[in-house]
Every structure is written in C-alpha cells, then in structure tokens.
Amino acid sequence: MVDKSVTLNYVFNKSCLQMPKSKEFISSSESDSDSDQPKQKKKKVEKKEKKEKKEIKKEVKKAEKSSSSTKGPGGEHMFQLSTMRFATVSEFRGRVMVGIREYYDAGGELKPGKKGISLTLEQWTSLKEQMDEIDEAIKELS
C-alpha cells in the first residue's frame, strides 16, 4: 500500500521543481534583444525562399521561351508544356519512357508531382499513330 502523504509530497515537490519560463526572470532590455534575433533569422530565411522562387520562375520562363529541351535534375530531357507541366524522355530500369507530368517547387528545385503518366515506347508510338483520330474527335467536340 502506498502512503498518500508521500505521494502528495512527491507531486507537490515535483511541481515546485519545474523550471520557470525563460521570459519570467529576464529584464525587459534583455528580452527585446533576444526577441530580435529569431525575427532576423526568420527574415533571412524568407528572403532566401523568395530568391529561390524567383530563380525557379526565371528557369520556367526560359524554358517557355525556348522550344528545345532542357536537362532535368535526373538527367531526363524536359519539354515544357505549360507553367509547371513538362513532357519528359527518360530511362527507367533500362527502358526509355515518355512522361507527361506536373512538377512542383521543392526548395528551389523542380520535382515531379503525383499527377502524370509515363508511357513506354510502344504506348508512345500507339498514341502518335492515333493522333489524327484524336484531333478529329477534338474538332467534333469543340
């Protein structure tokens, strides 16, 4: 059986032994200088992120202007279709693949998103062979 006075004494002592919050015992002049430092770091990070986003936008605009392919981070050939959509030609497990995929900005680097499709060469050839019929169907619906 546990003695209740010992348990209460332990709980009481444990609550008294907790460390005070850091700002409770710091003078007002010290707290002002401490609070400025994290804000400055945050501003630097925000500026860096903005700079990286601008660089990505520049890269995207360059890709839009140029009709030729660019090399992606994985060595694949990338052809820009719209702002963040690309057609790619790459190699996966020894097979050449043609992909159409949305990309996203990950810390200043374009990375492939979930939305997209990768076609084998056989599927790509089949799609190209049916392009005239697809164009006719589009004209009918437009």
Taking alpha carbons only, the member of 56, 64, 65, 61 closest to residue 80 is: 64
pLDDT at position 31, please?
47
Q: What is the mean pLDDT of residues 4-28?
A: 52
Give the lowest-confidence range in 19-23, 103-107, 137-141.
19-23
More confident residue, 123 or 44: 123
Place of tokens 């089949």: 126
Tell me what the mean pLDDT of segment 80-94 comes to.
92
Mean pLDDT across 21-41: 53
The model's confidence at residue 74, banded by pLDDT at 50, 70 and 90, is confident
